[in-house]
Amino acid sequence: MTDTDTTRKMRFLVLHDHGMSTSWWWVHARSAREIVEAFAEVEVVDHTDTVDRAETWDLNAVDIDAPTMPGDLDALKAQRTAQRDRPGFGALAGRSVVHLRRRWDGEDGVDAADYLMEVGPDGRRLRQVELGDDGAAVKSGPDDWPFNPPVVDLFDPDLAGMEISRAEFEAEWLRAAHMDADR
């Protein structure tokens, strides 16, 4: 038995944001970190107002060590299990700031572009530069976005290959026009 096996479990409010909808659970675990290591693409919510509101919701409560999980949570656990042994797993987790370059090949009426993102430890964007295939560079920040959910899971092994330097991000940030500026 390890020390973590004897640590008392606490109840955490856990969220998975699907984009247009969300799923919520109470998860009994030894720490918030244990939850994000066990389930892909989840967030442990600790905002007092949200936790207080969730007390009135009819949410499933699960133990992190249970052999099966309800619905989406089971799929998110399987996704994390599949990631665990891949190179790069968790390489970006625990950092205060990470810089990434992600390619968007274009769909849904959005042109193809490279997105340079500065993200915090929770996977939320802090700043972003969109580099269009036409050479245009547009920067934006939290005040420009109506919503700012986590956009990346920093345990995802695929992200390790997308990391760029702070210097590369800053150079493009300085070059870019603000999204509200006339272009």
Specify the higher pLDDT residue, 105 or 158.
Answer: 158
Average pLDDT over residues 151-176: 96
Q: Is residue 90 part of a domain?
A: no
Q: Among 84, 116, 145, where does a domain finish?
A: 84
The number of folded domains in the chain is 2
* pLDDT over 70 (residue 182): no
* pLDDT over 70 (residue 18): yes
Specify the higher pLDDT residue, 120 or 6.
Answer: 120
Q: Is residue 152 part of a domain?
A: yes
* pLDDT over 80 (residue 180): no
Do 72 and 134 fall into the same domain?
A: no
Q: Which amino acid appears at position 58 of this protein?
A: D
| Residue pair 47/32 in contact by the 8 Å Cβ criterion | no
- Least confident interval from 46-50, 144-148, 154-158: 144-148
Taken in order 106, 142, 92, 39, is the CA torsion positive or negative?
A: negative
- Residue 32: the pLDDT is 95
Do 123 and 168 fall into the same domain?
A: yes
Give residue for tokens 């693409």. Answer: 41
- Residue 1: the pLDDT is 42
C-alpha distances out from residue 88 to 29, 157, 158, 160, Å? 25, 4, 7, 5
Average pLDDT over residues 16-22: 85
Residue 16: name the closest of 67, 66, 70 by CA: 70
Q: Is residue 116 part of a domain?
A: yes
Distance CA 118, CA 122 (A): 11
Domain that holds residue 113: 98-178
- Residue 183: the pLDDT is 43
Q: pLDDT (tens digit, 9 = 90+) per residue, 20-43? A: 789 999 999 999 999 999 999 999
How high is the mean pLDDT of the chain?
91
* pLDDT over 50 (residue 3): no
Confidence label for 158 from pLDDT (cuts 50, 70 and 90) = very high
pTM: 0.85
Do 128 and 61 fall into the same domain?
A: no
* pLDDT over 70 (residue 100): yes
> Which DSSP string do the residues of the chain spell out, in sequence order?
--HHHHSPPEEEEEEEE-SS-EEEEEEEES-HHHHHHHSTT-EEE--HHHHHHHTTS---EEETT-S---HHHHHHHHHHHHHHTSTTTTTTTT-S-EEEEEEE--BTTB--EEEEEEE-TTS-EEEEEEEETTS-EEEE-GGG-S-------TT-GGGGGGB--HHHHHHHHHHSEETTS--
